């Protein structure tokens, strides 16, 4: 517990971002969950009315962009039509499109993490004007969102046979 206190708010939220996206610990992080996937695997659906991995990644990008804009102090709302944050052209033959989505996913995470780190303890511990939760809650929420959807991606991959059942 002393180590946790010593890292401060910044260390705690950056640790949560790192473990949710790139550092494997208790679970597979989101960045690893998409490694090695082809466009066909990313566009695969477990059923006719189900999402695909590509749509999940698009959704994760949408909400992390939303969170970054909020952290920067832009006035954005989360009340967008659902199709805007799930919409994507998941074409099994579009390898370049899938790789562009993965690159965007990774770059946005790096940008989000760097911005969160630049805020420091004081800013992360206080709410932005007009809000009640501290900025750290937004960063931590983004990490939890990544972890939730990383598990969803891995479940899809296990269903399609592109991830080992036991590892």
pLDDT reported for residue 1: 41
pLDDT of residue 74: 85
> Token pair 């695997």 is at which residue?
41
pTM for the full model?
0.89
Domain-embedded: residue 4: no
Residue 153: inside a domain, yes or no? Answer: yes
Question: According to the model, what pLDDT value does residue 81 have?
Answer: 56
Q: What is the mean pLDDT of each run of 10 residues along the chain (167 residues)?
A: 62 93 89 96 92 94 92 76 67 92 97 96 90 92 96 96 81
CA atoms within 13 A on the CB side of 66: 17
Name the one residue in this structure whose structure tokens are 């780190």: 117
Does residue 30 sit within a domain? yes
Name the residue range of residue 65's domain: 13-160
- Count of domains forming the chain: 1
What pLDDT, on a 0 to 100 scale, did the predictor assign at position 79? 62
- What contacts 1, CB < 8 A, 6 or more positions away? none
Q: Is residue 64 part of a domain?
A: yes
To the nearest 10°, report the CA torsion of 99, 48, 32, 108: 50
CA 12/CA 18 separation, integer angstroms: 10
Euclidean distance between CA atoms 132 and 127, whole angstroms: 6
Assigned domain for 165 exists? no
pLDDT at 25 (0 to 100): 81
Q: What is the pLDDT of residue 3?
A: 44
In a domain, 19, yes or no: yes
Please report the pLDDT score of residue 159 as a whole number: 94
Is residue 3, in this structure, part of any structural domain at all?
no
Rounded to the nearest 10°, the torsion over CA 146, 148, 150, 152 is: -140
Check which CATH number belongs to the domain holding 127 and give it.
1.20.120.450
| Predicted local confidence at residue 49, as pLDDT | 87
Q: In this structure, is residue 143 part of a structural domain?
A: yes
Residue position matching structure tokens 């990313």: 42
Q: Give me the pLDDT at residue 147, please.
A: 96
């Amino acid at each position: 517990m002393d180590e946790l206190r010593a890292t401060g708010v910044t260390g705690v939220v950056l640790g949560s971002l790192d473990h949710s996206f790139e550092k494997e610990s208790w679970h597979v992080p989101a960045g690893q969950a998409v490694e090695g996937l082809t466009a066909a695997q990313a566009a695969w659906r477990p059923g006719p009315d189900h999402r695909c991995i590509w749509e999940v990644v698009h959704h994760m990008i949408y909400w992390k962009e939303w969170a970054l804009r909020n952290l920067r102090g832009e006035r954005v709302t989360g009340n967008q039509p659902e199709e805007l944050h799930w919409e994507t052209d998941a074409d099994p033959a579009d390898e370049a499109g899938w790789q562009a989505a993965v690159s965007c996913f990774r770059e946005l995470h790096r940008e989000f993490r760097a911005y969160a780190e630049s805020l420091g303890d004081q800013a992360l511990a206080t709410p932005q004007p007009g809000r009640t939760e501290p900025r750290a809650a937004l960063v931590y929420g983004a990490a939890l969102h990544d972890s939730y959807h990383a598990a969803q991606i891995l479940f899809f991959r296990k269903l399609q046979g592109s991830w080992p059942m036991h590892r």
